[in-house]
């Protein structure tokens, strides 16, 4: 009887706590100045979508814009859309739309190719800009695997030696032999936010250049590329920028480096006079020299339409909501999930947290599969991490509460 009474008391306590958290979520959503932005996205009913750190939701207007491009610009105007429409200037025009979201002035961001291709351009370009005689390429040891593969290839091409480093120790590791540093602004697995201003300053103090991967920070938090003197940066557009699956990535080349930036992929689109069809390559002025081949127009213009979702939105407000959402989610997890079943590997400190929460647990793949089956979509990273990405443009506090409550139910 005592055991039954204890279980009933625990159930009543959880019910009361759930009612409190649901009420708090409703109050927070009602006071949220960004809540109305959810209407700018097409989201299925009954789903909590917390995987925007892998693929952002579909913004309203994208489907119509793509249909227009296909039916009218391609179907009707045919090749004339290159010269009389918006196609040819899309890479730099869309780059200028992304620029304020990463703290860059116009003329420094060009869109096209994949993150991997842009990273290769940035690393080889940085190595060619580096001080002569330096041989070290310092690379985030916990980086997304492709960054490591690309870094190794770039090192072989430029005569550098890759040295892996924990980002928390990168400042001390940068030395007189360091030519280039490659770091992720936010760790893709843990959501840990690295010190972009401090590490950029440390690289410059040692006479090195730094390249930042912004895939998990661009569109989620202020980056400040110009303000902090970053040399080069790359990022994808299909996560927090909601550009769609496989949407083209971007390359940032600081204005002070543009005249000397020597791309290892000198394609005709980056030529000063692309239609002259000369055998000698003369790079275009500015960040346009980061272009390579013919742009992927369908994906490019879909991305341009997707960026309309940012009209009138300040990244600082997005960051404030992101921190509030992840704080509330962690509070709800603590309330709903039995003690000891999950461990947060995302830093609790705001200054060290991106816009995701990663929880370590046993049988993580099976747990995530069950969450998805119950309408809460996050993702899994081997071997034992549940990832939940919070995109403040369309995720609300009720979503965070429901996700945590569902996770608690999965654990029983």
Per-residue pLDDT tens for 339-378?
999 999 999 999 999 999 999 999 999 999 999 999 999 9
Mean pLDDT estimate for the chain: 96
49 classed as catalytic: no
Is 213 catalytic? The answer is yes
Give 116-130 as a DSSP string: HHHHHHHHHHHHHHS
Flag whether pLDDT at 2 surpasses 60.
Answer: no
Residue of 134, 387, 402, 405 marked active site: 387
409 pLDDT more than 80: yes
What the block records as the tokens of 250 is: 């971007």
Do 62-310 and 18-49+313-411 have the same topology in CATH?
no
- State yes or no: is 121 an active-site residue: no
Give the model's confidence band at 203: pLDDT under 50 very low, under 70 low, under 90 confident, else very high. Answer: very high
Q: State yes or no: is 97 an active-site residue.
A: no
Per cent of the chain over pLDDT 70 is 98
> 190 near 184, Cβ under 8 Å?
no
- pLDDT tens-digit map of 124-133: 999 999 999 9
Q: What is the pLDDT of residue 316?
A: 98
Q: At residue 7, does pLDDT exceed 70?
A: no
Q: Which two tokens stand for residue 57?
A: 């939701």
CATH classification number, 18-49+313-411, choose in 3.90.1150.10, 3.90.950.10, 3.40.50.1240, 3.40.710.10: 3.90.1150.10
Let me know if 120 is a catalytic residue: no
Mean pLDDT (whole number) for 202-206: 98
Euclidean distance between CA atoms 389 and 403, whole angstroms: 11
DSSP summary character for residue 233: E
- The pLDDT of residue 65 is above 70: yes
Condensed to tens digits (0 to 9), the pLDDT of residues 87-118 reads 999 999 999 999 999 999 999 999 999 999 99
51, 140, 187, 213: the catalytic one is 213
Q: Give 96's contacts (C-beta < 8 A, 6+ positions apart).
A: 106, 107, 109
Q: State pLDDT tens for residues 269-282.
A: 999 999 999 999 99
**90: which 2 tokens?**
């899309």
Domain boundaries, the chain: 18-49+313-411, 62-310
More confident residue, 16 or 8: 16
Q: Given 41, 49, 188, 238, which residue is catalytic?
A: 238
Identify the helix (H) or strand (E) that includes residue 10: helix 2-31
The pLDDT of residue 12 is 76
Residue range 62-310, CATH number: 3.40.640.10
219-264 per-position pLDDT tens digit: 999 999 999 999 999 999 999 999 999 999 999 999 999 999 999 9
**Average pLDDT rounded to a whole number, residues 173-191:** 98
Catalytic member of 121, 134, 189, 239: 239
Displacement of CA 304 from its chain's centroid (Å): 17
- Overall average pLDDT of the 33-53 stretch: 97
**Of 194, 250, 251, which is closest to residue 223 (Cα–Cα)?**
194
243 contact partners, CB below 8 Å, separation of at least 6: 56, 237, 299, 302, 303, 306, 307
Mean pLDDT, residues 299-314 taken together: 98
Per-residue pLDDT at 321 exceeds 60: yes
- For residue 13, what pLDDT is reported? 78
- Marked catalytic residue, from 41, 49, 144, 188: 144
How large is the average pLDDT for residues 142-163? 97
Percent of the chain scoring above 90 in pLDDT: 95
Contact 229, 200 (CB under 8 A): yes
According to the model, what pLDDT value does residue 231 have? 98
3-state secondary structure 248-259: CCEEEECHHHHC
């Amino acid at each position: 009887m005592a055991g039954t009474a204890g279980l009933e008391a625990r159930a009543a306590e959880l019910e009361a706590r759930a009612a409190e958290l649901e009420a708090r979520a409703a109050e927070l959503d009602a006071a949220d100045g960004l809540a109305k932005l959810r209407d700018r996205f097409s989201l299925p009913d009954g789903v909590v979508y917390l995987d925007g750190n892998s693929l952002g939701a579909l913004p309203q207007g994208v489907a119509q814009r793509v249909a227009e491009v296909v039916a009218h610009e391609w179907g009707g105007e045919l090749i004339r859309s290159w010269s009389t429409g918006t196609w040819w200037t899309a890479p730099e025009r869309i780059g200028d739309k992304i620029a304020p979201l990463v703290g860059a002035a116009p003329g420094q961001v060009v869109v096209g190719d994949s993150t991997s291709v842009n990273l290769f351009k940035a690393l080889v370009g940085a190595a060619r800009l580096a001080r002569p005689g330096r041989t070290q390429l310092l690379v985030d040891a916990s980086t997304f695997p492709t960054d490591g593969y690309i870094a190794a290839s770039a090192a072989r091409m430029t005569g550098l030696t890759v040295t892996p480093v924990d980002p928390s120790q990168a400042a001390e590791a940068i030395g007189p032999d360091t030519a280039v540093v490659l770091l992720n602004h936010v760790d893709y697995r843990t959501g840990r936010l690295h010190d972009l201003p401090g590490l950029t300053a440390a690289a410059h103090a040692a006479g090195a250049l730094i390249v930042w991967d912004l895939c998990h920070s661009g569109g989620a938090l202020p980056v400040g590329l110009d303000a902090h003197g970053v040399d080069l940066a790359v990022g994808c557009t299909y996560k927090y920028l909601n550009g769609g699956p496989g949407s083209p990535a971007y390359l940032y080349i600081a204005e002070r480096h543009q005249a000397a930036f020597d791309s290892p992929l000198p394609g005709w689109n980056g030529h000063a006079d692309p239609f002259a069809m000369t055998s000698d390559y003369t790079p275009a002025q500015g960040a346009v020299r980061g272009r390579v081949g013919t742009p992927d127009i369908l994906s490019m213009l879909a991305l341009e339409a997707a960026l309309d979702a940012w009209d009138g939105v300040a990244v600082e407000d997005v960051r404030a909501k992101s921190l509030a959402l992840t704080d509330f989610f962690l509070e709800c997890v603590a309330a709903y999930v039995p003690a000891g079943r999950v461990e947060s590997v995302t830093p609790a400190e705001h200054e060290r947290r991106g816009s995701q929460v990663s929880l370590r647990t046993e049988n993580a793949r099976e747990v995530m599969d069950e969450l998805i089956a119950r309408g809460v979509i996050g993702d899994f990273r081997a071997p034992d991490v549940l990832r939940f990405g919070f995109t403040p443009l369309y995720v609300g506090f009720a979503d965070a509460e429901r996700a945590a409550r569902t996770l608690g139910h999965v654990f029983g």
